[in-house]
Amino acid sequence: MPRLFTGLELPPLIADHLALLRGGLEGARWIDRENFHVTLRFIGDIDHGTAREVVSALDRVRRGPMTLEIDGLGAFGGNKPSAVYARIVPNQELVALQAEQERIVQRLGLKPERRTFVPHVTLARCRGLQPGAVAHWLALRGSIMRLTFEVDRFVLYFSRDSVGGGPYVVEEDYPLVA
């Protein structure tokens, strides 16, 4: 069964800048630069027939290109940190694209996403790390400059079996055209 999700790729220069943040958090599992992305909708493990339906349904998405902005760093998990990430400023176009994909997968019979959409780029997995260590890492790097980039397509990723963080393979791409 394929494990699928939709997302937005990062331009190489943005990925290079974020890769410079790696390190300084002992025990973190850092995501490889080539696997940085913005997840729109995690679809999960599905059968091949449903995967074909997802590919076809996503092909009907008609949205224009958009500008995204990274405005800082954050962590998921509170007192039990699970990941550190670069925060993406939500904008109307991004939220609408994600919501449309959510409706599409639900119409295909998949369960609704239970988590609120928080646009971000995961930099590292932090399970088992002390919250103070994560807070310290964020405090030292929290003032990253704002990074802006253009997005002109979204992709359907296939996630190979691993312990989180890739490798991810682009199965299909869908242009965002005005």
Active site residues: 37, 120
Q: What is the CA radius of gyration of the chain?
A: 16
- φ/ψ of 135, rounded to 5, equals -60, -40
Round to the nearest angstrom and report the end-to-end CA distance of the chain.
34
Whether the upstream peptide bond of residue 112 has omega within 30° of 0, thus cis, is no
Phi-psi region of 23 (alpha: psi -120 to 50; beta: other; left: phi over 0): left
